[in-house]
């Protein structure tokens, strides 16, 4: 059976796994974005706080995914919960770091002008600083999403949803009928989904980043 025939014959199952894969990655990225932006807002004015937050997020990223999942499974069991927690933790670094860089890079003259117009500190943050930092934050989310697409495959170790199950099952059945097709279908599916999400980010950037900021 060719790869095309394999995919066509199992399209319902593969499309469901693809949807679950994208869903867990997108949801994890959004959760990480909320946490990362909050952390960035809290520390960007402090060089020490920024360094500590970035260092802690970097430390998490150095933990092998198998090891992190192995630590989470005894506490949260198998399935989506440990998978999402691991993905959120891995996504924190690029989002937090880019939030800090984006906010710290806002021209002080712009914020001073906003305060001169009577804006409160919260108003300056939400209406000026975060808007100007948005391209950097979005870039961090894009990097995090692409990174999580691959890590989510390994999350099949924790019985997480997605195409990782197809890849692992194909590899463990190496040499048997359609094992290679199964592993390839899962792998190519992840690649195609990553390209699709990259296109989505491009559209979001075109719609939400003003032409002046894009340069």
Could you give the angle at the alpha carbon of 36 between the alpha carbons of 51 and 62, nearest 5°? 60
Whether the CB-CB separation of 189 and 198 falls below 8 Å is answered with: no
What pLDDT is recorded for position 212? 63
What pLDDT is recorded for position 213? 63
pTM: 0.92
What pLDDT is recorded for position 87? 96
Whether the CB-CB separation of 129 and 109 falls below 8 Å is answered with: no
Mean pLDDT per 10-residue segment, the chain (215 residues):
86 94 96 96 93 94 90 90 94 96 90 84 88 94 96 87 88 81 92 96 90 62
What pLDDT is recorded for position 215? 54
Whether the CB-CB separation of 98 and 139 falls below 8 Å is answered with: yes
Output the six-digit token pair for 127: 């209406």
């Amino acid at each position: 059976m060719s790869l095309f025939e394999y995919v066509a014959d199992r399209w319902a199952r593969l499309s469901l796994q693809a949807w679950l894969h994208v869903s867990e990655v997108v949801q994890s990225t959004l959760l990480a974005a909320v946490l990362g932006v909050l952390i960035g807002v809290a520390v960007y004015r402090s060089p020490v706080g920024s360094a500590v937050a970035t260092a802690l997020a970097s430390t998490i990223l150095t933990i092998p995914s198998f090891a992190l999942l192995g630590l989470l499974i005894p506490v949260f069991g198998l399935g989506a919960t440990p998978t999402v927690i691991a993905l959120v933790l891995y996504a924190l670094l690029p989002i937090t770091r880019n939030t800090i860089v984006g906010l710290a890079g806002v021209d002080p003259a712009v914020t001073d002008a906003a305060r001169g117009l009577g804006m409160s500190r919260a108003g300056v943050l939400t209406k000026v600083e975060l808007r100007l930092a948005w391209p950097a934050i979005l870039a961090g989310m894009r990097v995090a999403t692409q990174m999580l697409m691959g890590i989510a495959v390994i999350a099949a170790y924790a019985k997480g949803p997605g195409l990782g199950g197809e890849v692992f099952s194909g590899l463990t059945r190496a040499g048997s009928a359609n094992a290679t097709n199964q592993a390839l279908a899962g792998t190519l599916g992840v690649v195609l989904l990553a390209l699709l999400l990259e296109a989505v980010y491009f559209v979001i950037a075109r719609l939400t980043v003003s032409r002046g900021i894009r340069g």
